[in-house]
Amino acid sequence: MRALLATLAVVLFWCAPAMACDDHHGKCTFDGFRAQHNKLMNAVSIDASATCDKGHARIRLYNGGNFIGVATGYIDGHVLEALSFIPEDASIADLTIKYSIEPR
């Protein structure tokens, strides 16, 4: 299993800089996002659409202005999927995000 993960990491980091976004110019942003709260795991899954084809995103989660967690994920094919574990008493009723994206 470690060998598989090591190989995957090498392939991602070796090949990713060579892959350029062919349909986007300028800063990469999210067009929109959807969040689902799994209360059993105290986790939030985030799905987002991005303006760039590939990238690495760092996401900060806020509920009503209160910081509740962070998530990281990779954008592939203009789609981001990320997971964040949040405190047990946290809610996502008024979820907002702030993010930074490193295009690849």
As a whole number, mean pLDDT of residues 54-68 equals 96
Averaged pLDDT of the chain: 82
At 26 the pLDDT is: 60
Q: How far apart are CA 22 and CA 37, in angstroms?
A: 34
What digits encode the pLDDT tens for the residues 1-41?
Answer: 555 444 444 434 444 443 444 444 468 999 999 999 999 99
pLDDT over 60 (residue 88) = yes
pLDDT over 60 (residue 73) = yes
At 103 the pLDDT is: 83
Q: Output 93 or 8, whichever has higher pLDDT.
A: 93
pTM for the model: 0.71
At 25 the pLDDT is: 47
pLDDT over 60 (residue 76) = yes
Runs of H (alpha helix) within the chain: 2-15
Q: Output 23 or 71, whichever has higher pLDDT.
A: 71
